[in-house]
């Protein structure tokens, strides 16, 4: 799937119109002309006219209703079906054919904005016979035309100055799986029946994201406590921060959300619970019934309901611990003061959606920490306490949570989500080559070098990422006038900064020194430019890093330039003689 920037799918005038309509009564009201028959319409730029509409079948009606339900659940707006078209914002018609005047070919659908002196609205027309019984294609076309009314545009549309990768031909590149606003056939053969990740990113930018419904504030003393904890698969380490994208991250990893329950009053035990778990459905793949496990304390589950569109799971479970009289072979053990696992849910992140979320420089996703909401049905959540009724036999007082004031406390560890990054950054000016002159009273460091010289230079590399870099190593690359012949990495394992309680802390970052032996290859008058690259640095599972722009530029001087002053002169003979005088001979006198 192509990643499409939201602005490349947003038709701002269309979005502004629909946002204005929403502002009038805080809802987008949609009318479906289900009965069919001749009916007059506004017709938008085509002018008012009478069309021969066709009935909208019940299953298509239900499909459209489900689409509106998902829109309402995810976007910060209400999309409501209306029984008539009086004062509606979007009217939907199936009709025999669509005539756009001089336009050649068959028109499958069109979205028409209408304006009068007193009102405005959209009309969506779908030429149902033109789809030749292909229901998936027809429903894709509905999503497409509804997308126009919600503020989306074709990915190839350049009226507003932007297209996807500059492509204006509808038949090229972007496919139906990338966005329902595409004209190109689906790669997988089946027309998508939902908005894509790219579509949702654009819709959310237009309409905003609906905040999860908050549970009512309970003023009474808490009686039951529910909690949640997130774990990696086969791990007992509770997560407070989690890498969900990037280096060494498995996009198919499974995580376990554990739900716990306990009572907060000493003599009360929890006999049954009717729990609702709410989560951000955009972050996860669909949860299946097989992903849910009921705990051993309340193992009798008489209702498990999963709604992936709304991001909600309902669990009703109970214990029958004393069903076998005088024995401990009943079902469950009820729940007391000690927290017990009520249920667990296997979760898998939607990597495509996560990848579309903007990221901070430290790799953190630009969204609130991952949290969950828990609520109890206080009528069906039942507790008990033992009491002496004077008969000499056991007895219990059975109380609904509502009778105890409905008090609930929720405790959970929110999780900071981030992209795992190994990022090795060269410090300072990078590798600096040069020659240390030792002969003469003006001995100093010069950036002049000679062909075939082998020189050493050192640079510092810092792990500015957010995960440890293991097995740091070097790979040479081509440089026009130099070659890497050897290198040494002082420390091959470099710790990084890390997320602590949702904030990135740099304190733990480590660096290493890389010393390179470099042979000069160019000819006199040429320049060795290390900023063009000499080697890449990498670690296990990371990208390659070379930080272009860092490193020295060195002029290659003549072979006879013994004093490295950029020219060959009689002075070089004097330096040659001085160098010979400086030699320390260990054995026989030098041969003439």
What SS3 state is found at 255? strand
In 3D, which of 245, 252, 246, 255 has the Cα closest to residue 279?
255
Is residue 475 classed as helix, strand or coil in its secondary structure? strand
Statement: residue 330 has pLDDT above 60: no
Separation of alpha carbons 223 and 335, rounded Å: 12
pTM, full prediction:
0.53
Can you give the pLDDT at residue 588? 47
Confidence of residue 64 (pLDDT cuts 50, 70, 90): very high
Backbone angles phi, psi at 180, to 5 degrees: -70, -5
Question: How far apart, in Å, are the Cα atoms of 52 and each of 57, 58, 96, 126?
Answer: 16, 19, 6, 12
Three-state DSSP class for residue 532 = helix
Greater confidence (440 vs 462) lies with 462
Only one residue has tokens 């689906």, namely 186
Q: What distance in Å separates the CA atoms of residue 321 and residue 332, rounded to the nearest whole number? A: 5
Reading phi first (left if > 0) and then psi (alpha if -120 to 50, else beta), residue 497 is in beta
Q: How far apart are CA 153 and CA 176, in angstroms?
A: 13
Across the range 483-489, mean pLDDT stands at 94
Return the number of other C-beta atoms located less than 10 Å from residue 70's C-beta: 17
CA neighbor of 93 nearest in space, from 47, 16, 38: 38
The average pLDDT across 201-223 equals 74
- Pick 217 or 422 by higher pLDDT: 422
Query: Over 50: is that where the pLDDT of 23 sits?
Result: yes
DSSP reduced 3-state for 556: strand
The structure tokens 């109380």 sit at 399
- Using one digit for the tens of pLDDT, what is the confidence trace for 381-429? 998 888 877 777 788 888 888 888 878 899 999 999 988 888 899 999 9
pLDDT at 163 over 70: no
Whole-number Å distance between alpha carbons of 146 and 195: 11
Identify the band that residue 326 occupies on the pLDDT scale cut at 50, 70 and 90.
very low
Neighbours of 444 (CB within 10 A): 11
Cα separation of 133 and 127, whole Å? Answer: 11
591 versus 234: the higher-pLDDT residue is 234
Residue 254 pLDDT greater than 70, yes or no: yes
Token readout for 65 is: 């209703």
In percent, the amount of the chain with pLDDT more than 70 equals 92
With 0-12 / 13-18 / 19 or more C-beta atoms within 10 angstroms meaning exposed / middle / buried, residue 217 is exposed
For residue 294, which of 343, 227, 228, 335 has the smallest C-alpha distance?
A: 343
3-state secondary structure of 446: strand
Mean pLDDT of 243-263: 90
If you average pLDDT over residues 97-114, what whole number do you get?
A: 84
What is the rounded CA–CA span in Å between residue 265 and residue 344? 25
The SS3 assignment for 505 reads: strand
pLDDT over 50 (residue 236): yes
Q: What pLDDT sits at residue 218? A: 43
| Whether pLDDT at 299 is above 60 | yes
Burial profile 24-61: b = 16 or more Cβ within 10 angstroms, e = fewer = eeeebbbbbbbebeebebbebebeeeebebbebeeebe
Distance CA(209)–CA(141), nearest Å, equals: 24
Q: What is the pLDDT of residue 587?
A: 46
Average pLDDT of span 295-324: 83
Q: Residue 83 is encoded by which pair of tokens?
A: 């029984």
> 536-566, pLDDT tens digit by residue?
999 988 888 877 788 999 999 999 888 888 8
Q: What's the mean per-residue pLDDT of the chain?
A: 87
With beta carbons less than 8 A apart as the criterion, state whether 138 and 125 touch.
no
Question: Could you give all domains of the chain from N- to C-terminal order, each with its CATH number?
Answer: 6-207 (3.40.390.10), 224-419 (2.60.40.680), 424-582 (no CATH)
Statement: residue 146 has pLDDT above 90: yes
Are 102 and 135 in contact by the 8 Å Cβ rule? The answer is no
Distance CA 527, CA 34 (A): 77
Mean pLDDT of 425-453: 88
DSSP state of 5: -
Q: What phi and psi values does residue 438 have, to the nearest 5 degrees? A: -120, -15
3-state secondary structure of 384: strand
For 311, half-sphere exposure in the C-beta direction (CA atoms, 13 angstrom radius) is 21
* CA distance readout (Å), 571 to 382, 436, 449, 561, 582: 102, 18, 18, 9, 17
Distance CA 523, CA 541 (A): 39
Phi/psi for 40 (5° steps) reads -85, 140
Stated as kind and residue range, the H or E segment containing 21 is: helix 12-25
Residue 301's DSSP bridge partners are: 317
Q: Distance between CA 584 and CA 592 in Å, rounded?
A: 16
Weakest-pLDDT range from 22-26, 60-64, 494-498: 494-498
Instruction: Considering only CA atoms, give the Rg of the chain.
Output: 36
Residues 539 and 492: their CA atoms lie apart, in Å, by 8
pLDDT tier at 246 (50, 70, 90 boundaries)? confident
Q: What is the pLDDT of residues 302-314, one digit of tens each?
A: 678 999 988 999 9
Instruction: Look up residue 385 and give its DSSP letter.
Output: E
Mean pLDDT is highest, among 160-169, 204-213, 372-381, for: 372-381
The sheet with strand 449-450 has its strands ordered as 449-450, 553-557, 527-529
pLDDT at 167: 57
The pLDDT of residue 104 is 67
Name the nearest CA neighbour of 92 among 155, 139, 27. 139
Q: What is the rounded CA–CA span in Å between residue 376 and residue 501?
A: 28
More confident residue, 4 or 58: 58
Distance (Å, whole) CA 15 – CA 26: 15
Question: What number of other Cβ atoms are within 10 A of residue 280's Cβ?
Answer: 17
Residue 589 has pLDDT above 70, yes or no: no
Q: What is the pLDDT of residue 349?
A: 95
pLDDT value of residue 571: 85
Asked if 32 contacts 92 with a C-beta cutoff of 8 angstroms, the reply is yes
Count the neighbouring beta carbons within 10 Å of the beta carbon of residue 588.
6
């Amino acid at each position: 799937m192509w990643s499409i920037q939201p602005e490349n799918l947003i038709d701002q005038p269309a979005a502004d119109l629909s946002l204005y309509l929403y502002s009038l009564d805080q809802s987008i009201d949609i009318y479906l002309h289900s009965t069919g028959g001749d009916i007059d319409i506004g017709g938008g730029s085509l002018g008012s006219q009478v069309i021969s509409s066709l009935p909208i079948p019940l299953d298509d009606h239900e499909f459209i209703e489900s689409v509106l339900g998902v829109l309402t659940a995810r976007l910060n707006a209400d999309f409501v079906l209306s029984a008539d078209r009086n004062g509606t914002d979007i009217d939907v018609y199936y009709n025999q054919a669509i005539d756009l005047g001089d336009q050649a070919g068959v028109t499958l659908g069109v979205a028409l904005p209408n304006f009068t002196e007193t009102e405005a609205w959209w009309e969506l027309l779908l030429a149902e016979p033109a789809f030749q019984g292909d229901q998936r294609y027809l429903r894709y076309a509905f999503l497409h035309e509804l997308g126009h009314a919600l503020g989306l545009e074709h990915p190839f549309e350049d009226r507003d100055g932007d297209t996807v990768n500059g492509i204006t031909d509808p038949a090229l590149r972007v496919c139906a799986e990338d966005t329902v606003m595409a004209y190109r056939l689906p790669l997988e053969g089946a027309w998508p029946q939902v908005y894509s990740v790219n579509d949702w990113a654009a819709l959310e930018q237009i309409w905003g994201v609906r905040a999860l419904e908050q549970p009512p504030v309970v003023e009474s003393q808490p009686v039951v406590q529910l909690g949640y904890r997130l774990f990696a698969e086969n791990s007992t380490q509770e997560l407070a921060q989690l890498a969900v994208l990037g280096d060494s991250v498995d996009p198919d990893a499974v995580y376990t959300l554990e739900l716990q329950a306990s009572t907060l009053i000493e003599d009360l035990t929890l006999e049954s619970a009717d729990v609702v778990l709410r989560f951000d459905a955009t972050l996860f793949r669909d949860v299946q019934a097989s992903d849910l496990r009921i705990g051993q304390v309340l193992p009798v589950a008489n209702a498990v309901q999963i709604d992936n569109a709304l991001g909600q799971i309902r669990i009703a479970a109970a214990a029958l611990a004393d069903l076998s009289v005088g024995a401990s072979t009943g079902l469950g053990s009820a729940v007391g003061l000690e927290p017990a696992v009520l249920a667990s849910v296997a979760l898998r992140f939607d990597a495509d959606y996560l990848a579309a979320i903007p990221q901070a420089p430290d790799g953190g996703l630009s969204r609130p920490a991952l949290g969950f909401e828990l609520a109890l049905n206080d009528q069906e959540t039942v507790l008990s306490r033992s009491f002496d009724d004077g008969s000499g036999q056991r007895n219990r007082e059975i109380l609904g949570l509502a009778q105890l004031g409905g008090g609930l406390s929720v405790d959970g560890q929110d999780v900071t989500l981030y992209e795992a990054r190994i990022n090795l950054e060269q410090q300072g000016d990078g590798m600096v080559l040069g020659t240390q002159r030792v002969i003469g009273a003006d001995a100093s460091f010069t950036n002049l070098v000679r062909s075939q010289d082998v020189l050493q230079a050192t640079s510092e590399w810092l792990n500015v990422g957010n995960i440890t870099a293991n097995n740091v190593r070097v790979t040479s690359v081509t440089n026009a006038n130099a070659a890497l012949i050897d290198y040494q990495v002082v420390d091959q394992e470099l710790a990084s900064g890390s997320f602590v309680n949702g904030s990135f802390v740099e304190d733990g970052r480590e660096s290493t020194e890389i010393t390179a032996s470099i042979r000069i290859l160019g000819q006199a008058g040429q320049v060795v430019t290390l900023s063009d690259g000499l080697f890449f640095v990498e670690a296990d599972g990371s990208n390659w890093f070379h930080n272009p722009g860092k490193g020295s530029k060195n002029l290659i001087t003549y072979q006879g330039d013994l004093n490295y002053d950029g020219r060959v002169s009689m002075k070089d003979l004097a330096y040659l003689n001085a160098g010979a005088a400086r030699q320390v001979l260990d054995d026989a006198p030098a041969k003439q």
